[in-house]
Amino acid sequence: MRSLIRLWDRVRGLTLLERTVNGRPGLVAQQDGVTVSVYAFEVAGDRITHIWAVRNPDKLRPWTMGWRQ
């Protein structure tokens, strides 16, 4: 139970937005309105075959500077 409480504390305020990322289906994860990670997916048929994830704050800067909902 304690680990579930810690997990809840980490994801509270987390929003996942479906977006196109580099021309691929993707997700933008925002924590309390700040972009914390961006994911892009390669899909073949009905399966995800590759996932790219960016969490580096310097590489996320374009997503945080130009992002408007």
Q: What is the 3-state secondary structure (H, E, C) of 23-56?
A: CEEEEEEEECCEEEEEEEEEEECCEEEEEEEECC
* Confidence check: pLDDT of 53 > 80: yes
Question: What confidence score (pLDDT) does residue 57 get?
Answer: 84
* Confidence check: pLDDT of 47 > 60: yes
Residue 4: band (very low, low, confident or very high) from pLDDT cuts 50, 70, 90? low
Question: What confidence score (pLDDT) does residue 69 get?
Answer: 43
Instruction: Residue count of the chain, please give it.
Output: 69
Q: Which amino acid is at 35?
A: T
Q: What is the pTM of this model?
A: 0.74
Element (H, E) at 10: helix 2-11
Lowest mean pLDDT among 37-41, 58-62, 63-67: 63-67
